[in-house]
């Protein structure tokens, strides 16, 4: 059960953030086996005063088209699966929406399964 947060600078196309989310879900489905319909996303667009980043940290030249993606998911994926996920997301955003590879920033947050409640006040994954 991933929870995906996508942050971008305000875009002229009102469907841009949603399209990014669709591509990220497809990448998670193919790269790390996220189940069908397991799609929970928070999409946020910011003005330039509320979207701060270093344009050259680690020698990567970022533009104001930066896409910040934070994925919270249950622990257990291998390093290889994570690398495939990063690559799949970046390449699909580049191919479908012309987002530069340098402008794809991804952060995974892994949590134990008992840290989820999908509703009804129940920890559905707790053993």
Tell me which residues are annotated as active site.
Answer: 2
Phi and psi, residue 82, nearest 5°: -65, -45
**CA-wise closest residue to 1 among 126, 116, 120:** 116
The arrangement of strands across the sheet holding 104-111 comes to 40-46, 3-9, 67-74, 104-111
**CA distances to 25, 84, 88, 96, 123 from 91, in Å:** 13, 10, 5, 8, 35
Q: Which two tokens stand for residue 38?
A: 């397991």
HSE on the CB side for 81, CA within 13 Å? 13
């Amino acid at each position: 059960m991933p929870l995906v947060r996508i942050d971008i600078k305000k875009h002229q196309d009102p469907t841009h953030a949603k399209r990014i989310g669709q591509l990220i879900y497809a990448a998670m489905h193919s790269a790390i086996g996220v189940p069908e319909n397991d799609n929970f996303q928070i999409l946020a667009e910011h003005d330039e005063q509320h979207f701060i980043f270093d344009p050259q940290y680690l020698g990567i030249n970022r533009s104001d088209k930066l896409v910040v993606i934070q994925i919270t998911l249950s622990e257990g994926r291998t390093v290889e699966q994570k690398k495939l996920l990063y690559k799949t997301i970046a390449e699909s955003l580049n191919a479908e929406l012309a987002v530069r590879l340098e402008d794809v920033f991804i952060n995974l947050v892994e949590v134990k399964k008992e840290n989820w409640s999908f509703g009804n006040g129940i920890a559905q994954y707790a053993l």
